[in-house]
Chains A and B, each alone.
Chain A
Amino acid sequence: MKLGLALGDVCEAEGEVGRQLNVLGERHKADHDVFHLTETLQLIARANIGRLAPHGERYGVRVDAEDMPEEHGASLLEKAREKTSELVGRRPESGLLLIRDLRKLHLIYAEASINYVILGQGAQAARDRELHEACSGCHAQTLRGMKWTLTRIKIAAPQVLTS
């Protein structure tokens, strides 16, 4: 049974999502909707881990929201980065940087998404109804983040590329 491996991959990807959300929020504090949405999406990522945690125990994998990266702005260094981003945020290049960081987050979400597919297939094959339901629910939540990055890129790209 290798379901634990797949569960571990999912959790690692959610951790990556959390880290990139931090980076995005810190670097683009001057893009206020991006900053505030990263907080909302952090809540989703943490809730996912919370929902998967009981299954981690069953498959011998540590799944704990405590392992998620701290919310942004928590450390002094991050606060300094946020301040810098507010100053840099007045330059035209900040739009290009935003697209680059959103694209990275989108790809991390894509990885998380495919990891959920793998886990979900395994859970079904193992006839583990509860894990499958949790996996489907979490996957749907992760797709919301992926759709958001896509929307935000669609909005940002035209202005950045023509100005």
Chain B
Amino acid sequence: MKIDRIEDPWGPATPVGPGEEWPARVDSFLAPGAEPERWVQTASVLHSNGDAYDVAVQDGKLVGVRGRAQDRVNRGRLGPKDLFGWQANHATDRLTRPLVRRDGDLQETTWEEAMGLIVERSHILLREQGPTAFGFYTTGQLFLEEYYTQAIVARAGIGTNHLDGNTRLCTSSAAEALKESFGCDGQPSSYDDIHHADVIALFGHNVAETQPVLWRRIKDRLEGPEPPKLVVVDPRLTVPARHAAVHVPLKVGTNLAFMNAVLHEVIVNGYVDQAYVQAHAVGFDELRERTADCTPEWAAKICGVDAALIRDAARVLGQADRLLCTVLQGFYQSHQATASSCQVNNLVIVRGMLGRPGCGVLQMNGQPTAENTRETGANGDLPGFRNWDNDEHVEDLARIWNVDSLKIASFAPPTHVMEMVRYMEEGVLPFFWVTGTNPLVSLPEAHRIRSVFESERVFLIVQDLFLTETAAVADVVLPGAGWGEKTGTFTNADRTVHYSGKAIAPPGEARSDLDIWLDYAARMDFRDADGAPLVKWHDAESAFEAFKQCVADRPCSYGDITYGNLRGGSGIQWGGARLYEDGRFFAHPDSCETWGRDLLTGALLEETEYRAMNPYGKAILKACEYVPPPERPDADYPLQLNTGRTAFHFHTRTKTAKAPQLQAAAPEVWAELSPADARDRGLVEGDHVEVRAPRGAIRAQLRISRIREGVVFVPFHYGWWDRADGTSRAANELTITSWDPVSKQPLVKAGVAQVVKVADGHGPSVAPTNTASAPVEPLGMATRGGDPALADSDLP
């Protein structure tokens, strides 16, 4: 059947009962008149779900997509961004030649000259300052092979620990929460658990928009026999919240108060699996003590919801037989991110809900290949979940790379991006290389970020598909080959590894990030301890095999996964379906990834403390007191600011705005208020408003939605590259510079704001009507894609 997949982002139902296999439903979309010559296997890079599909190729161009029925992740289903996003490859404004800044302007040049400039500057800075002069900032969009190569270049070639990814903005709290609770990163559960759970709880996880196919999976359970109960914690009435048995619309920044009350209730009501806790966890007494005073009444005042609602949520969570919890940006990008996410881990640990079908926790990712930055160390961690603060782990890595262990900077934790920005601001980090991300729009407090990146004290290299806002201020711009134009692998949020083939040639002289790193390593003449080239691989498959060797003895071992067995069939999960089936964790002091941190302050704990606390490597119940967020509403800024995503865009729209169906579905920024807050300000749907914060202001059209009172929502996808006058409408003009002390994830859901009218709207805002931004009352218009958005769905 043909379905408008902008109007219905999730597609037709295939209801399933508990324990049943999810039937295939093959979605496909072809450009009008296309007659594909061949199909090339790949998976999605516009969200973290890992939907597997084939791209159609004709005359050297991509012409469509078709879901892979055999794949465990999506069983053929595709979301709107999968169906339409590939068109961005053929956008007319792709970068095709390197650019260098001459006399203030970016001008086209050769690879020889561009790389020559970079290498020359690198040598000078290595001589003058050494490795601390270099910072690398990557993305959650490249492939595993590229990340691993970047990690060795930065760590063992240059020798810096200033290495991070924009995964800092999407997945760092997930990784840190897993490390704190289980001693090591690694997703405990599997998407399959959705088919066995009797309660599914979404903590700050608007799954319908971040992972539409995963929401279809959950909804197929809700629409089948014996449906699970859904618990949703979110200040907006998201699509999942409309289907929830319990929806808790917390005030922004109060997640930890809520979670502490939930754990309080679970403990005092006897929902604890004492045998499991005794056998498999440490820290229960501390958890009980820390939550002893956290009654629902106490939390209700802080969170702005009824105590009865908190009790309801705790009861459903406490009485579940098979509890599956998921967590995403509502927790990760908010105040006390890691501590709140650890409380979700604590919930499943004390309830003994781990390692069995339908039980567990999915600490989600925001990006398709974020998981790989964590495994390879491109996010600054050491490859293979090694502990930077454990000398033996550093020695082990040095042995594998055949370098002196002193080369690997392990005297301090990896430097996160906001700290690197600070160093650039101070003028002590003069070299910064950005790959596949757009910090000028995506980092908080945009005016500050602009002033830092535009400074002449920083030699800025940007490697991208497009001339983004960030590339426009760079000293050197390198044109990258994107997804579909290169071969590699990547791993989704439930540890499923997918192969992605090269379907077409990149435009012009664009090169893959892997080739660029290999070229840089060769030109820099990085050597190992025996004088041989440091980087011993030459293409994607050899890089993959080298990575496998590096992680072979570590928890994220890729085992016998090869390009050969990834081609043709389903994606493959490393670690199997569930990581902790036997209640054994990767938490032994000799093998764990971290000694842990104080969840309140981020202070590093010492090896001796960890060994004393957890000598046998059990799960760690860690808890922390709630403290108020860094900014509280006042008379000037009475609203809380919440920024986030929509179903139809990704990142800063560098790709999704180039897909006409997606761009038309959400063409402009909007601001969302509750009916009461709009009424108080004399505002009606569609009014032109200014959203003001202590640091900046943007203009947007107003959408009146079912968001909770006291909160204004602004989507964070919109920058200024597509504005003729260059004025910014980035949500980050408004956000505060502050980050979680443990994960260092910026708090883009934690500021304050005011909304004032600028002009009458003369009609509704263009915000989507079929997502969390749905209007309170029908507007006489609805989000539709029409004929251009009709896609096929083959039901079983």
* Structural contact, B411 and A158, CB atoms closer than 8 A: yes
User: Is B427 located at the chain interface by the 8 A CB criterion?
Assistant: yes
Which residue of B427, B605, B738 is within 8 Å of A91 (Cβ)?
B427
User: Which among A40, A41, A147, A159 has the greatest number of chain B C-beta atoms within 10 A?
Assistant: A159
Bound Cα distance from A95 to B426, whole angstroms: 8
Q: Which residues of A contact B413 (CB under 8 A)?
A: 155
* Structural contact, A89 and B426, CB atoms closer than 8 A: yes
* Structural contact, B627 and A145, CB atoms closer than 8 A: no
User: Is B776 located at the chain interface by the 8 A CB criterion?
Assistant: no
Known: A43-B627, A92-B427. 18 other contacts (CB 8 A): A31-B422, A32-B422, A32-B737, A33-B602, A37-B602, A39-B630, A40-B601, A89-B426, A94-B426, A144-B598, A145-B601, A147-B605, A151-B603, A154-B411, A154-B412, A159-B132, A163-B132, A163-B423
Bound Cα distance from A138 to B141, whole angstroms: 46
Size class of the A contact interface (CB-based, 8 Å): 20 to 34
Q: Which of A126-163 contact B (CB under 8 A)?
A: 144-145, 147-148, 150-151, 154-155, 158-160, 162-163
Please judge, given known A-B contacts A154-B411, A163-B129, A163-B133, whether A144 and B603 are in contact too, CB under 8 Å: yes
Please judge, given known A-B contacts A92-B426, A95-B426, A158-B411, whether A147 and B418 are in contact too, CB under 8 Å: no
User: Which among A36, A43, A150 has the greatest number of chain B C-beta atoms within 10 A?
Assistant: A36
Q: Which of A103-141 contact B (CB under 8 A)?
A: none
Which residues of B come within 8 Å of A, CB atoms? 129-130, 132-133, 409, 411-413, 415, 418-419, 422-423, 425-429, 598, 600-605, 627, 630, 737-739, 741
User: Is A30 located at the chain interface by the 8 A CB criterion?
Assistant: yes
Q: Which residues of B contact A151 (CB under 8 A)?
A: 601-604
Bound Cα distance from A41 to B600, whole angstroms: 9
Which residue of A40, A43, A95 is within 8 Å of B428 (Cβ)?
A95
Please judge, given known A-B contacts A33-B739, A39-B630, A147-B605, whether A90 and B426 are in contact too, CB under 8 Å: yes
Which residue of A31, A36, A90, A148 is within 8 Å of B603 (Cβ)?
A148
Q: Which residues of A contact B429 (CB under 8 A)?
A: 159, 163
Bound Cα distance from A95 to B133, whole angstroms: 15
* Structural contact, B603 and A147, CB atoms closer than 8 A: yes
* Structural contact, A32 and B418, CB atoms closer than 8 A: yes
- Indicate with 1 or 0, residue by residue over A10-39, a CB within 8 angstroms of chain B CB atoms: 000000000000000000001111001101
Bound Cα distance from A67 to B422, whole angstroms: 35
> 29 A-B Cβ contacts within 8 A?
A30-B422, A30-B425, A31-B422, A32-B739, A33-B738, A37-B601, A37-B741, A40-B600, A90-B426, A91-B427, A92-B427, A92-B428, A95-B428, A144-B598, A147-B603, A148-B598, A148-B601, A148-B602, A150-B604, A154-B411, A154-B412, A155-B415, A158-B132, A158-B411, A159-B423, A162-B129, A163-B129, A163-B133, A163-B423
Q: Which residues of A contact B737 (CB under 8 A)?
A: 32
Please judge, given known A-B contacts A41-B601, A147-B601, whether A155 and B412 are in contact too, CB under 8 Å: yes
Which residue of B411, B415, B600, B627 is within 8 Å of A144 (Cβ)?
B600
B568 CB to nearest chain A CB (Å): 47
* Structural contact, B627 and A40, CB atoms closer than 8 A: yes
Bound Cα distance from A91 to B741, whole angstroms: 24
Bound Cα distance from A95 to B425, whole angstroms: 11
* Structural contact, B412 and A158, CB atoms closer than 8 A: yes
* Structural contact, B603 and A150, CB atoms closer than 8 A: yes
Q: Which residues of B contact A160 (CB under 8 A)?
A: 428
Q: Which residues of B contact A30 (CB under 8 A)?
A: 422, 425
Majority DSSP secondary structure for residues of A touching B: helix
* Structural contact, A89 and B425, CB atoms closer than 8 A: yes
Residue of A nearest to B161 (CB): A158
Bound Cα distance from A160 to B428, whole angstroms: 8
Bound Cα distance from A92 to B457, whole angstroms: 11
A102 CB to nearest chain B CB (Å): 12
Bound Cα distance from A148 to B598, whole angstroms: 9
Q: Which residues of A contact B427 (CB under 8 A)?
A: 90-92
B597 CB to nearest chain A CB (Å): 8
B131 CB to nearest chain A CB (Å): 8
Q: Which 3 A-B pairs have the closest CB atoms?
A: A163-B428, A147-B603, A148-B603
Q: Which residues of B contact A144 (CB under 8 A)?
A: 598, 600-601, 603
Bound Cα distance from A151 to B600, whole angstroms: 13
Q: Which residues of B contact A43 (CB under 8 A)?
A: 627
Residue of A nearest to B746 (CB): A32
A17 CB to nearest chain B CB (Å): 14
Bound Cα distance from A32 to B413, whole angstroms: 18
* Structural contact, B428 and A159, CB atoms closer than 8 A: yes
* Structural contact, B129 and A32, CB atoms closer than 8 A: no
Q: Which residues of B contact A147 (CB under 8 A)?
A: 598, 601, 603-605
Q: Which residues of A contact B409 (CB under 8 A)?
A: 158
Please judge, given known A-B contacts A41-B601, A148-B602, A155-B412, whether A36 and B738 are in contact too, CB under 8 Å: yes
Bound Cα distance from A148 to B600, whole angstroms: 10
Residue of B nearest to A155 (CB): B412
A15 CB to nearest chain B CB (Å): 20
Residue of A nearest to B427 (CB): A92
A58 CB to nearest chain B CB (Å): 24
* Structural contact, A162 and B132, CB atoms closer than 8 A: yes
Bound Cα distance from A155 to B415, whole angstroms: 8
Bound Cα distance from A91 to B600, whole angstroms: 30
Bound Cα distance from A144 to B598, whole angstroms: 7
Q: Which residues of A contact B425 (CB under 8 A)?
A: 30, 89-90
Residue of A nearest to B631 (CB): A36
Q: Which residues of A contact B738 (CB under 8 A)?
A: 32-33, 36
* Structural contact, B601 and A162, CB atoms closer than 8 A: no
Q: Which residues of B contact A94 (CB under 8 A)?
A: 426
Bound Cα distance from A43 to B630, whole angstroms: 12
Q: Which residues of B contact A39 (CB under 8 A)?
A: 630
* Structural contact, B604 and A154, CB atoms closer than 8 A: yes
Residue of A nearest to B133 (CB): A163
B696 CB to nearest chain A CB (Å): 15
Residue of A nearest to B444 (CB): A32
B421 CB to nearest chain A CB (Å): 10
Residue of B nearest to A95 (CB): B426
Q: Which residues of A contact B428 (CB under 8 A)?
A: 92, 95, 159-160, 163
Bound Cα distance from A116 to B739, whole angstroms: 31
Q: Which residues of A contact B133 (CB under 8 A)?
A: 163
Residue of B nearest to A150 (CB): B603
Bound Cα distance from A34 to B6, whole angstroms: 45
* Structural contact, A155 and B419, CB atoms closer than 8 A: yes
Bound Cα distance from A29 to B569, whole angstroms: 54
Q: Which residues of B contact A90 (CB under 8 A)?
A: 425-427
B450 CB to nearest chain A CB (Å): 14
Which residue of B129, B627, B741 is within 8 Å of A33 (Cβ)?
B741
Q: Which residues of B contact A37 (CB under 8 A)?
A: 601-602, 741
Q: Which residues of A contact B604 (CB under 8 A)?
A: 147, 150-151, 154
